[in-house]
Every structure is written in C-alpha cells, then in structure tokens.
Amino acid sequence: MDWRRASAAEQGRAIMAGLLDPVDQTEAYLAAIQASPYAKRIYARVTASRARTESIAAHDRNRAGLRRSLLDGVAISWKDNIDSAGTPTEAGSRLLKGRKPAHDAATLKNATAAGTVCLGKTHMTELAFSGLGLNPMTATPPNALDPALAPGGSSSGAAVSVAMGLAAAAIGSDTGGSIRVPSAWNGLVGFKPTHGVTDSRGVVPLCRKFDVVGPLARTVEDCALLLAALRGEAPVDLRGARAQGLRLLVLDGVPFADAQESPVAAFEDAVDRLARAGSQITRITPAFLPQAMALSPQLFAPEAYGIWREQIEAAPEAMHPPILERFRGGKEVSGPDYVAAWEALNRYRAEWAALVAGHDAVILPTVPILPPDADRLATDQEYFVTANLLTLRNTRIGNLMGLPAATIPTGQPGCGLMAMGAAGDDRRLLRVSAALEAALA
C-alpha cells in the first residue's frame, strides 16, 4: 500500500497497529518531496531536521504505549503564515523576507503536543490576499489535477502538498475562502472553523476579524482529528453520521450567478444523490444576501491595508500589481463607513441565523468556476481580478455570515459541495459533513 496517499487517520491507525513506522513514513515523505519536480513550488521550506526528531519521538511513544492521539507520528505540512520557531515564515511575501519567529504559533504548538510531525512550510499567495493561488513573487504551486491550472489559494501549497502525496494532511488559513477553494480545486476536503475557534496567536494576519486556521485533508475524519489537534481537545465522534433525515437548505441566487456549467452540474448531481440518500432538500433565496455581499469592499480591504500599509508603501515594487491594488483599495474607505458596514453585517448575520434555524446545513457549490489557466492569470491583470472575485464569491458568504464551512468532493474534478453550519457549532457541522461525504462517495 502507498501509505503516502492514505488518509491521516488511516496512517495513525497503521502506526498504532505496528504496520507503519512514523520514522519510515516521515522519511518516505521527505524523499518524495526531494524527488518531486514541483517541490520548490509547493514547499517554501522543508523542516527535515524537525520532522526527523519528531518522528523518532513518535516512534518511541508508540513502542512504549504512550501515543498522544490518533495522529501521533503523522506528518503534515503548514502554511507559510503560521509561525514555526527558528524557521522563516514569510507569508508568501517579499515584504517579509527573512522574517524568523522565535516561537511556534499556538496551533502548531498544540498539534505538536498531539504528536503530529511538521514536514515544513508551504507556499501561499501574498499575505493570503487572493483565492487563485498565483504568486509570481515567490512561487505558484501546480494544480494537482493539471499543472497548467491555478491551484487555488491562498492555501495553495497546503492543498497541493496533500493532493500530490507530499504530506498526509495540511494546515492552512481562511479569510474569504483560502482553505475551501484550493481544497475543492485539488479534490480534497477542507474545513473552515468558525472565526475564533482556533487560536490566532502566531499567525501572520490579513484581516483579524475574519482570519481562521483550519485543516485541508483527504477526509472529513482527518479534518475532525486535525481540528481537535489544533485546539488541544478530543475530536468529535463521527460514528453513525448518516445523510438520511438531514435537513439541507440549497442556497439559490447569488452562488449560481455567472457560474460555469460544470460546477453547477456537479453540485445538482450531488444534491440529487443526497435526496436519494434520504436528506430533506429545501431551496432558499435570501433577499438580503446581495446587500450583505456588497459590504465586502468596505470590510476586508480596509482592515488588510490598515495592518500592512506601512510595509506596503515602503516597498510597493515587492508586490504583484493585482495584489497591491487589492490592498490599496482599502484606503478609500472611511472610518465611519467601515464601522457602519460592520453594523449592517451584524444585522444581516442575525437575519441569516433566523432564516436557517432548524436546518442541519446550507449547501451550495464551493466555487462557481473551474480552475483557470495559470499563465493567463499571470499575464492578463483584468482577467486575474475578475477570476479572483468570482472564485471567492461563494466561499466568502460563510466568512461574512460568521459560519463554519466545509467543502466536500462531488466526484467531479475541481468541483466541491460546500456545507455551512451554525456559527460556533463546528462539531455538529463535522458530523453533517461526514454524512454528506459518505452519501457522495
């Protein structure tokens, strides 16, 4: 069996049963990374010494019957905006070149305490401010389905490291879709927790009011285990999760505007399969959603520019022009307009909660388009801007409404089904996601 492409949970069980040695498996990943022609486009830095030390410790714990979690000894990758002690963490930006934190981020510290092995830091889009995964300033990972296509971002290298068998799972971050987009475009499960569910200490910020760390993996079970490791708690029990009887709301309207045929067809086919599995399907079109979505320019860019203005304006030439333009768009929004936008968004969040109460999840296509051609994105700025906005449109709904959200493969390449749960009820959404995954497998 090719254990490198097994799920993280399967690897953990094999280690526990003595079928897989964490030292050997870590060495297999390190060798695969070294041999991959795409390695330097996926990993910004490989932490081989740390990985070997951690895998030896996991080996010793397993022999002594002292395993810390099911993921003890399982090797994962980390997005390059999550601090790791003594290793450059540059968030995909030349503005932060040479930045070397002294301490692990809180999430990495927790995951290490659970026994996971850190393979290294993965490439990402500049300061996490794009959903396409293109980064001409550092590196653009290939799409695992087709290297000529955009990988999705901003957790681009995170997704590709898993999809190409160069990590058992990955940790990324999500501000407007940065976990779910690359997961969907690379055939993975991605889970965006509710904002604040995972600790943000030691994470290079984009928008503190939206940023959240979460997992990208092969299965919902892996995501549940990883979320527990990030939080330092016991994972949710997924046993018995079934699609039969689930009350699902299909979000019509905004998510389907200007969508391509393939993602819509894949989604509708998935909805049909869920209905046949016994889920109760209702369709809704919230009248207030377009107004809520229209608040985005007043919320994301002003905060991002406020955080990074000094560094950006000191060296604007160090940034890819479309990303620079996105940041600078924030300086046109006044303080009162920013506050008013948040006041309005909080009202819309209350309307959303009332509308969807009593249902298990709201479902929609994860991304309304397929991965675009990477070369065209690099040379056509207008195309880049248009594609980026459309790419992040559906995922951003979950961020704006303050919800946990998961993307699950539909079975069609590059097409995911997204499920959004109630704010703060992440564990329940993981059970719902496990049920959807089983029905769509």
Residues noted as catalytic: 79, 154, 178
Residue whose structure tokens are 């700025």: 381
Distance (Å, rounded) from C-alpha 251 to C-alpha 273? 17
Tokens standing for residue 220: 């919902």
* Tokens representing residue 391 in the block: 């790419």
Angstrom distance (rounded) from CA 60 to CA 52: 12
How far apart CA 11 and CA 376 sit, in angstroms, is: 39
Distance between CA 100 and CA 27 in Å, rounded? Answer: 25
Six-digit token string for 48? 């081989």
First to last CA, the chain: 21
Residue 290 CB contacts under 8 Å (≥ 6 apart), including other chains: 253, 254
Alpha carbon distance 380, 150 (integer Å):
14
Indicate the angle between helix axes 220-231 and 8-16, nearest 10 degrees: 70
DSSP, residue by residue, 358-408: T-SEEEEES-SSPPPBHHHHHH-HHHHHHHHHHHHHHHHHHHHHT--EEEE
Cβ contacts of residue 292 below 8 Å, gap of 6+? 344, 345, 348, 352, 400, 401
Distance CA(247)–CA(360), nearest Å, equals: 5
Contact assessment for residue 105 and residue 112, using Cβ atoms and an 8 Å cutoff: no
- Retrieve residue 124's tokens: 């990402």
Long-range contacts, stretch 62-68, CB < 8 angstroms, 24+ apart: 62/15, 62/16, 62/18, 62/22, 67/15, 67/16, 67/115, 68/113, 68/114, 68/115
Query: Could you tell me the sign of the dihedral formed by the alpha carbons of 396, 399, 400, 403, in that order?
Result: positive
How far is residue 220 from each of residues 127, 200, 413, measured CA to CA in Å?
27, 22, 18
Looking at residue 82, the DSSP 8-state letter turns out to be B
